[in-house]
């Protein structure tokens, strides 16, 4: 090899190593402990799997997490279970026919290949809690290898459909991109059957595996850990219902009160199983839940989550109050039937900072945070990082940082 070629290769490698291993400075180094603080006031933010994958692949996780600390946030909820894939190398998904990790992270020549490990490391460097968010819960696209390997795990509508509202992909796209399009917009979303023992075992193992292998501060499930009310008519669930009801079939009305309560109990049992399994591994692990307000959660998704809080299976709740008008927002804070739970555990409020094409202004965000504080809740979480602090944010960077530091004056 010619000398100039060798020198050039060494120079390029050196630059790459500097870029890869350089880390953003710790924002508040005076916080000497390496352990993240207990969140007295929840100041959280959700990060999608796509955002996390992009930042990991571009070696910018350190800058992103440092920026959260600069905005006086203290908790990061990164999506780690989406579209039937994990953000990290899973030991559980390959055992049931799935991929080891999300194909979005299969980047050639990128070492380590573990975005979750990177997120945990950077969050704890900056004294943030890192709570993996199992965003898809019971949702799984029909194109997922797991769904393909286990069609009997999927529940059905009364019409025998696995997808309630199927969509048609763009016809000119390759098949793989058609599947990705449907996965991202919900056009092929099926639902895992919470009554099925193999599904119960899989989801419990999936979550417990993360708690065992990573120094996470908690785990989070959300509104997708439920079941749309029109589902539950698959053969397994029908037979299980018959066994409990002397051979009688489930009601044809999916909103029959007894039928709703029966299915809801199975979701509750699964949540209890997961919570207890996590606590057996590490009693200090925070069980976080981010549901819709109780009435909607039960009526549409059979999720009786206030009972989970009352039973002691949840350590914090972030209720999704995604309202545009401040009047509707305040109405939900005071009238949607969850304020009393704030006396049992920390209850925060999830704020929607807008879709990518139309993110909300810092003034809108400030008004909602002020309303949450006035109502006496224990903090907020922003959905999502991409429209709050990243590329799709509405307001100028300086205005956002000033606004956040005014809202949260103490880091």
DSSP string, 339-404: GGGGGTS-EEEEEE---TTSPPPHHHHHHHHHHHHHTT-SEEEEE-HHHHTSTT-SS-HHHHHHHH
Q: Exposed, middle or buried: residue 102 (CB in 10 Å: 0-12, 13-18, 19+)?
A: buried
How confident is the model over 45-54, as pLDDT tens digits?
Answer: 999 988 887 7
**Cα–Cα distance for residue pair 383/294, rounded to 1 Å:** 19
SS3 90: coil
- pLDDT, residue 385, reads 87
Pairing of strands 218-222, 189-191: unpaired
Residue 59 CB contacts under 8 Å (≥ 6 apart), including other chains: 19, 20
Mean pLDDT of the chain: 90
C-beta separation of 400 from 367 below 8 A:
no
- pLDDT, residue 137, reads 98
C-beta separation of 316 from 346 below 8 A:
yes
Give the tokens for residue 364. 């809108």
pLDDT at 403 over 70: yes
**Cα–Cα distance for residue pair 271/158, rounded to 1 Å:** 25
The residue among 171 and 56 whose pLDDT is bigger is: 171
Nearest CA-CA partner of 195 in 263, 278, 148, 137: 263
Q: Which helix (H) or strand (E) holds 210?
A: helix 197-213
C-beta separation of 321 from 327 below 8 A:
no
The residue among 391 and 247 whose pLDDT is bigger is: 247
Q: Check residue 243 and report its DSSP letter.
A: H
HEC letters along 72-126: CCCEEEEECEECCEECCCCCCHHHHCCCCCCHHHCCCCCCCCCHHHHHHHHHHHC
- pLDDT, residue 390, reads 79
Give the tokens for residue 355. 């879709």
**Cα–Cα distance for residue pair 267/246, rounded to 1 Å:** 22
- pLDDT, residue 30, reads 59
- pLDDT, residue 9, reads 47
Pairing of strands 189-191, 139-141: antiparallel
How confident is the model over 131-162, as pLDDT tens digits?
Answer: 999 999 999 999 999 999 999 999 999 999 99
- pLDDT, residue 110, reads 54
How confident is the model over 299-318, as pLDDT tens digits?
Answer: 999 999 999 999 999 999 99
Q: Tell me the mean pLDDT in the region 102-131.
A: 83
Domains and CATH numbers, the chain: 42-140+196-407 (3.20.20.80)
Please name every residue paired with 358 in a beta bridge, in sequence order, or none if there are none: none
**Cα–Cα distance for residue pair 65/123, rounded to 1 Å:** 6
Per-residue pLDDT band at 15 (split at 50, 70, 90): very low
Cβ-based neighbour number of residue 110 at 10 Å: 14
SS3 35: coil
Torsion, CA 297, CA 202, CA 211, CA 214, rounded to 10:
-120
pLDDT at 339 over 50: yes
Lowest-pLDDT range, 112-121, 235-244, 320-329, 391-400?
391-400
- pLDDT, residue 267, reads 99
Q: How far is residue 264 from each of residues 85, 315, 349, 372, measured CA to CA in Å?
A: 26, 21, 24, 30
Cβ-based neighbour number of residue 296 at 10 Å: 15
pLDDT at 7 over 80: no
pLDDT at 240 over 80: yes
Q: Tell me the mean pLDDT in the region 105-120.
A: 75
The residue among 106 and 52 whose pLDDT is bigger is: 52
Q: Tell me the mean pLDDT in the region 201-220.
A: 99
Per-residue pLDDT band at 21 (split at 50, 70, 90): low
Q: How far is residue 234 from each of residues 161, 240, 359, measured CA to CA in Å?
A: 9, 10, 40
**Cα–Cα distance for residue pair 160/58, rounded to 1 Å:** 43
């Amino acid at each position: 090899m010619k000398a100039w070629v060798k020198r050039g290769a060494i120079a390029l490698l050196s630059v790459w190593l500097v870029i890869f291993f350089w880390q953003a400075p710790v924002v508040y180094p005076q916080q000497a402990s390496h352990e993240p603080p207990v969140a007295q006031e929840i100041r959280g933010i959700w990060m999608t799997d796509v955002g996390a994958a992009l930042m990991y692949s571009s070696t910018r996780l350190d800058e992103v997490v440092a920026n959260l600390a600069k905005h006086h946030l203290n908790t990061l909820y990164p999506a780690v279970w989406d579209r039937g894939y994990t953000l990290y190398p899973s030991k559980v998904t390959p055992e049931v026919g799935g991929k080891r990790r999300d194909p979005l992270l299969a980047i050639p020549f990128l070492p380590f290949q573990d975005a979750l490990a990177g997120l945990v490391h950077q969050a704890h460097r900056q004294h943030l809690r890192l709570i993996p968010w199992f965003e898809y819960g019971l949702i799984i696209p029909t194109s997922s290898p797991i769904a393909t390997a286990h069609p009997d795990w999927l529940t059905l509508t009364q019409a025998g459909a696995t997808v309630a509202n199927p969509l048609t992909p763009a016809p000119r796209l390759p098949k793989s991109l058609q599947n990705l399009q449907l996965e991202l917009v919900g056009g092929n979303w099926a639902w895992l059957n919470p009554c099925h023992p193999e599904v119960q075992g899989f989801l419990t193992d999936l979550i417990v595996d993360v708690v065992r292998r990573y120094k996470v501060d908690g785990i989070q499930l959300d509104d997708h850990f439920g079941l749309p009310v029109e589902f539950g008519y698959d053969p397994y669930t029908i037979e299980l219902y018959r066994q409990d009801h002397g051979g009688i079939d489930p009601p044809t009305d999916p909103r029959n009160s007894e039928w709703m309560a029966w299915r809801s109990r199975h979701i509750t049992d699964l949540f209890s199983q997961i919570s207890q399994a996590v606590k057996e591994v590490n009693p200090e692990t925070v069980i976080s839940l981010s549901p819709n307000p109780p009435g909607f959660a039960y009526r549409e998704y059979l999720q009786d989550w206030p009972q989970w809080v009352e039973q002691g299976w949840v350590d914090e709740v972030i209720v999704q109050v995604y309202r545009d008008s401040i009047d509707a927002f305040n109405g939900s804070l005071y009238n949607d039937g969850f304020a009393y739970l704030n006396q049992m555990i920390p209850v925060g409020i999830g704020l929607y900072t807008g879709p990518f094409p139309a993110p909300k202004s810092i003034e809108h965000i400030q008004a909602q945070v002020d309303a949450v504080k006035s109502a006496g809740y224990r903090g907020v979480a922003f959905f999502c990082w991409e429209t709050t602090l990243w590329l799709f944010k509405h307001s100028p960077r300086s205005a956002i940082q000033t606004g956040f530091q005014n809202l949260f004056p103490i880091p």
